[in-house]
Amino acid sequence: MEKIEAVLKEERVFQPSEDFRQAARIRRLEDYEALYRESLQEPEKFWSRVASELHWFKPWDKVLEWNPPNAKWFIGGQLNLSYNCLDRHLATRGNKAAIIFEGEPGDSRILTYQQLHREVSKFANVLKGLGVRKGDRVTIYLPMIPEAAIAMLACVRIGAVHSVVFGGFSASALADRINDAQAKVLITADGGWRRGNVVPLKVNSDEALADAKSVEQVVVVRRTGHEVPMERGRDHWYHELMASASPDCPPEPMDAEDPLFILYTSGSTGKPKGVLHTTGGYSVYTYLTAQYIFDLKESDTYFCTADVGWITGHSYVVYGLLQNGATTLMYEGAPNTPDEGRIWSIIEKYSVSILYTAPTAIRAFMKWGEQWPLKYNLSSLRLLGSVGEPINPEAWFWYYKVIGKERCPIVDTWWQTETGGIMITTLPGVHPMKPGHAGKPFFGVQPEIVDTSGQPVNNPDEGGHLIIQKPWPSMLRTVWGDPERFERQYFSQYPGNYFTGDGARRDEDGYYLILGRVDDVLNVSGHRLGTMEVESALVSHPAVAEAAVVGRPDPIKGEGIVAFVTLKTGFSPSAELAQELKAHVVKAIGAIARPDEIRLTDALPKTRSGKIMRRLLRQVASGEEIKGDTSTLEDRGVVERLKSTPAQ
């Protein structure tokens, strides 16, 4: 490991193989540079050209209108994303696999473009029959099964706005999201498979609906086959509704700026934000990024391990890939079921050529050992991708050598729920790779690194805040129901510029290295969680007086969660209580938010003005020496006492 760190300091650079480069869509640096220049200097020309590769019912009148923080793209144009994902391919790719599905128990299904088109059209008619109209919100709470993609595309086909909620979220998190969006219909399943267990999606849904009254109708997909309660008049089996649905459903022409979907993500307050994406810009940007960054070829089989409950699943399992007529593979379950070779067995079974996964997964693969991938034939792979958090060089080298056999380029793609698509990456046939560096801006993206006063940081390798200076097509348009929060959150620190919430550095070659969040957002196994969100879950427990949550480095998850908690009078610290609090957080948010450690303490370190000193808590949590100024602490003894509180 030390050796690898030393290697990193040498800033070793890896070239894409000559074979890869020769066959790549973009293979000359000059071409990237010319296109990049054009995309910034003549965005209208650049984006018009890209957009005209898609199908429009009515062409746009104007490419961009920018009144910070409000951007409008392809004004006046009308299109439908499901048309571009499905109908557009029927003549040339009707019998090509659109979705390859592998279930955890080993069942599999392949849906061709024809078949997917038919299923989506039928389900779109089902939704219409349930009273869903253009602009209505539909919440989708499903496992990673084809019906998740079908439901998303069916909403899009009729102009309903979907809000996919990750199946790992709890009933209460689901209820919050349904209520915020005021969804009319919920689409769920009897359950999903995870490590041989059933994820009780329908039971969670019923619990959520007790507190979420906007939902009038529920559609339930039969997946696991175990018995679930069905409420008469409200709950309907998917297969029963589909049996009589017509396969003829013309797509609704949507204005380019019509809402497409809402996706909730964590910010620095307790309440998740509903990030809103609109139709035209999101379609065009995910289409282009998928094509160039994954260097898509007609013969590729592409496998992204993300769940559709996250933005990666939206843009790079479903929409970006299907718009390009590609074959996308969905896997339902855990990577270690039935054993630690599952991902590699899927790659061998379907001759997967592109794999897109997260550093936290790569670190788990490393821990399980290279004997697992070595058992399988991975020679079909030609390109690897990483997303979700900074990839540490050790994981990068392992991925490069053990999985890619030093033959496959790696794209380390930086982006966010809010950006809709990949923003910073290398182009695989063009740019040399530097482990740990995401790379260069994609077309149309103008990043800058600034200090807290907004001045550009020009020294190579000096850190600062990462901002984006110009609008790009798939930029979020607002926070659902809270335009004021949209402006405050993203456009108030550096007026006119989008603030990412990340810190970054840029080297002399213009490569960006992402340093991680600079706000109170944790990145646990590539999932975003607000410290405040976990804190508010904790303080909703009757025993808790106050809670402060911090991250600490974790060898697999990237970041682990440590909660410092003070109790109300009458409650005393115990291991049982600590366990109960962990379970309480799981119930409030979901298993991804379970604190790794709870420290029940008598006081939190506060300044005289009452601010919790999180820096100190982070140092205590990671067992570091307490450094920096502690003179503003109200009670200097608190640090010593914190260090000696047992971690539970």
Residue stretches of the annotated binding site: 194-197, 312, 336, 388-390, 412-417, 502, 517, 525, 528, 539, 541, 544
We find the least distance from the C-beta atom of residue 412 to ligand 6R9, in angstroms, to be 5
CA angle 249, 254, 255 (to 5 degrees): 170
We find the least distance from the C-beta atom of residue 438 to ligand 6R9, in angstroms, to be 5
d(CA 286, CA 113): 19
Footprint on residues 263-302 left by ligand 6R9 (CB under 6 A): 265
Q: Give the x/- contact pattern for ligand 6R9 in 474-503, rule: CB under 6 A.
A: --------------------------xxx-
Per CB under 6 A, which region of 47-55, 199-207, 325-333, 509-517 contacts ligand 6R9?
509-517
Residue type, 471: P
Q: Which two tokens stand for residue 77?
A: 């144009």
CB 135 within 8 Å of CB 160: yes
How many residues touch ligand 6R9 under the rule CB under 6 A: the total is 24
CB 473 within 8 Å of CB 284: yes
In this chain, which of 191, 200, 388, 473 binds ligand 6R9, going by CB under 6 A? 388
Angle between helices 29-41 and 43-51 (to 10 degrees): 110
We find the least distance from the C-beta atom of residue 387 to ligand 6R9, in angstroms, to be 5
Q: What SS3 class is residue 574?
A: coil
d(CA 446, CA 37): 10
Nearest Cα to Cα of residue 477 among 179, 159, 256: 256
Q: Which of 76, 516 has the CB closer to ligand 6R9?
A: 516
CA angle 137, 143, 147 (to 5 degrees): 65
d(CA 80, CA 159): 8
Q: Which of 332, 502 has the CB closer to ligand 6R9?
A: 502
- 438 touching ligand 6R9, by CB under 6 A: yes
We find the least distance from the C-beta atom of residue 275 to ligand 6R9, in angstroms, to be 8
In this chain, which of 523, 536, 601, 619 binds ligand 6R9, going by CB under 6 A? 523
Give burial (CB, 10 Å; 0-12/13-18/19+) of 273.
buried
Per CB under 6 A, which region of 2-10, 377-385, 516-524, 537-545 contacts ligand 6R9?
516-524
We find the least distance from the C-beta atom of residue 318 to ligand 6R9, in angstroms, to be 14
Q: Which of 78, 289 has the CB closer to ligand 6R9?
A: 289
Q: Which residues does the annotation place in the binding site for Mg(2+)?
A: 539, 541, 544
Footprint on residues 392-431 left by ligand 6R9 (CB under 6 A): 412-417
In this chain, which of 129, 463, 481, 516 binds ligand 6R9, going by CB under 6 A? 516
Other C-beta atoms lying within 10 Å of the C-beta of residue 195: 12
Q: Give the x/- contact pattern for ligand 6R9 in 581-620, rule: CB under 6 A.
A: ----------------------------------------
Nearest Cα to Cα of residue 619 among 537, 521, 551, 540: 551
Q: Which of 103, 404 has the CB closer to ligand 6R9?
A: 404
Q: Which residues does the annotation place in the binding site for ATP?
A: 388-390, 412-417, 502, 517, 528
Q: Can you list the positions of beta strands (E) in 459-567?
A: 464-468, 478-479, 498-506, 512-517, 521-524, 527-530, 544-554, 558-567
Q: Which of 191, 385 has the CB closer to ligand 6R9?
A: 385
d(CA 634, CA 546): 16
Q: Which of 327, 474 has the CB closer to ligand 6R9?
A: 474
Contacts of 199-205 with C-beta under 8 Å, sequence gap 24+, read: 199/143, 199/167, 199/168, 201/141, 201/142, 201/143, 201/167, 202/228, 202/229, 203/171, 203/228, 204/141, 204/170, 204/171, 204/174, 205/141, 205/171, 205/174
We find the least distance from the C-beta atom of residue 467 to ligand 6R9, in angstroms, to be 12
Q: Give the x/- contact pattern for ligand 6R9 in 312-331, rule: CB under 6 A.
A: x-------------------
DSSP 8-state code for residue 520? S
We find the least distance from the C-beta atom of residue 425 to ligand 6R9, in angstroms, to be 8
CA end-to-end span of the chain: 30
We find the least distance from the C-beta atom of residue 358 to ligand 6R9, in angstroms, to be 8
Nearest Cα to Cα of residue 39 among 56, 53, 51: 51
Other C-beta atoms lying within 10 Å of the C-beta of residue 334: 16
Q: Which of 200, 435 has the CB closer to ligand 6R9?
A: 435
d(CA 593, CA 533): 9
Q: Which of 421, 471 has the CB closer to ligand 6R9?
A: 421
Q: Which residues does the annotation place in the binding site for CoA?
A: 194-197, 312, 336, 525
CB 99 within 8 Å of CB 111: yes
Question: 432-458 burial string, b = 16+ CB within 10 Å, else e?
Answer: ebbbbbbbbbbbbbebbbbeeebeebe
Q: Which of 513, 543 has the CB closer to ligand 6R9?
A: 513
Q: Which of 126, 504 has the CB closer to ligand 6R9?
A: 504
In this chain, which of 86, 100, 183, 311 binds ligand 6R9, going by CB under 6 A? 311
In this chain, which of 180, 206, 332, 389 binds ligand 6R9, going by CB under 6 A? 389
- 514 touching ligand 6R9, by CB under 6 A: yes
Which residues make beta-bridge pairs with 558? 554
- 528 touching ligand 6R9, by CB under 6 A: yes
Q: Which parts of this chain interact with ligand 6R9 (CB under 6 A)?
A: 265, 310-312, 386-390, 412-417, 438, 500-502, 514, 516-517, 523, 528
